[in-house]
Amino acid sequence: MSGAPAKSATPHSSKMKKDESFLGKLGGTLVRKKKSKEVSNLQEEGKNAINAPMLTSGADIHPEDTLMDWINNELEEDRIIVKDLEEDCYDGQVLQKLFEKLSGRKLNVAEVTQSEIGQKQKLQTVLEAVNQLLRPHGWSIEWSVDSIHSKNLVAIVYVLVALAMHYSAPIRLPEHVSVQVVVVKKREGILQTSLVTKELTTTTEDAFDTLLDHAPDKLNVVKKSLITFVNKHLNKLNLEVTELDSQFADGVYLVLLMGLLEDYFVPLYNFFLTPENFEQKVHNVAFAFELMQDGGLNKPKARPEDVVNLNLKSTLRVLYNLFTNYKTTE
């Protein structure tokens, strides 16, 4: 199958009953049935494993240390090592490379700039690209060329945290980190100072962060519960899932699952049944996300690219969202 799939018709305009859907087209019967009570108990066990309160690490983690580790990991191929956020990020070089790596965009800036004017010009270009990316998503722009170039740690941390959260960086920042900033204003010739509290990070950990990091023994319970849930429906097409990590990565099972859960036929021209490359897989997952939103679900927190890249946490989030909304669907 090649070429971009046409999108002249939406899946909901072509709804059909199950006997006209893949159940009829692909044929097959439910290979094996599970007792209703066993399925229900397993699903409940998985839900409890996710929602159960768990101990979190009491280690004193500083956001700048976490951010430096993340940057160094992202820019390893560029042989860039950040040891101090203020000293290494103020001239725009690291921010440029980081943004290019995360966004896949090449910025039109000089590679090396020694003069203050050149550094600020580079920062201007980099921050304009960052702001254009983040502002539509509701981010408050708490940084500027001057603040970053003057090695203002608060501004540098702000922009790094925003990028890390926007791109779902595989890190956990300490929660509710605040700093007190001295604000100086001149009124009628007199300098007046005040302290303003700025919150650098909010709650970044969720149930799956906790589950993966602090309760790996319960992870298998959750995975087993979700596998039971998806197979309850995919078995109707003679399809079987054994590995959550990989079998949803091309988006095909996600699209088919949504058709089964919402009881309609998904036209083959709307997705790639046998995706051949990364872009086609991303298209499929993004299309499945559209179907979820059409069904009244919130937009998934995960990015399609993360699911395609076998990010277990992202895949679990997507499937658990389906589980909580369709667990009673037969």
Domain extent listing, the chain: 63-173, 207-327
Amino acid at 246: S
The pLDDT of residue 145 is 94
- Give the orientation angle of helix 312-326 with respect to helix 207-214, to 10 degrees: 130
- Tell which residue, 219, 258, 224, has the closest CA to residue 241: 224
The pLDDT of residue 182 is 65
d(CA 250, CA 5): 15
d(CA 302, CA 292): 13
The pLDDT of residue 94 is 94
The pLDDT of residue 214 is 59
Query: How many Cβ atoms are within 10 Å of 211's Cβ, its own excluded?
Result: 22
Mean pLDDT of 102-119: 86
d(CA 240, CA 250): 15
Q: Is 287 helix (H, G, I), strand (E, B) or coil?
A: helix
- Reported CATH class of domain 207-327: mainly alpha
Asked whether the whole model's pTM tops 0.75, one would answer: no
The pLDDT of residue 150 is 93
d(CA 54, CA 210): 7
Mean pLDDT of 72-78: 89
The mean-pLDDT minimum among 212-221, 287-296, 314-323 falls in 212-221
Domain 63-173: give its CATH code. Answer: 1.10.418.10
d(CA 250, CA 256): 12
CA 98 to chain centre: 17
Q: Do residues 221 and 51 make contact, with C-beta atoms less than 8 angstroms apart?
A: no
Q: Do residues 71 and 170 make contact, with C-beta atoms less than 8 angstroms apart?
A: no
Please report which confidence band the pLDDT of residue 6 belongs to, taking 50, 70 and 90 as the band edges. very low
Please report which confidence band the pLDDT of residue 285 belongs to, taking 50, 70 and 90 as the band edges. very high
State what percent of residues in the chain have pLDDT above 70. Answer: 69
- Tell which residue, 56, 58, 63, 92, has the closest CA to residue 199: 63
Give the pLDDT confidence of 130-155 residue by residue, as tens digits: 999 888 776 778 899 999 999 988 88
d(CA 205, CA 196): 26
The pLDDT of residue 53 is 35
* Residue 86 tokens, joined: 């203020």
State what percent of residues in the chain have pLDDT above 90. Answer: 26
* Residue 263 tokens, joined: 């009881």
Q: Do residues 133 and 166 make contact, with C-beta atoms less than 8 angstroms apart?
A: yes
Query: How many Cβ atoms are within 10 Å of 20's Cβ, its own excluded?
Result: 12
d(CA 323, CA 325): 5
Q: What mean pLDDT, rounded, does the chain reach?
A: 76
Are both 63-173 and 207-327 of the same fold?
yes
Higher-pLDDT residue of 208, 73 = 73
Give the pLDDT confidence of 241-263 residue by residue, as tens digits: 998 878 999 999 999 999 998 88
The pLDDT of residue 193 is 73
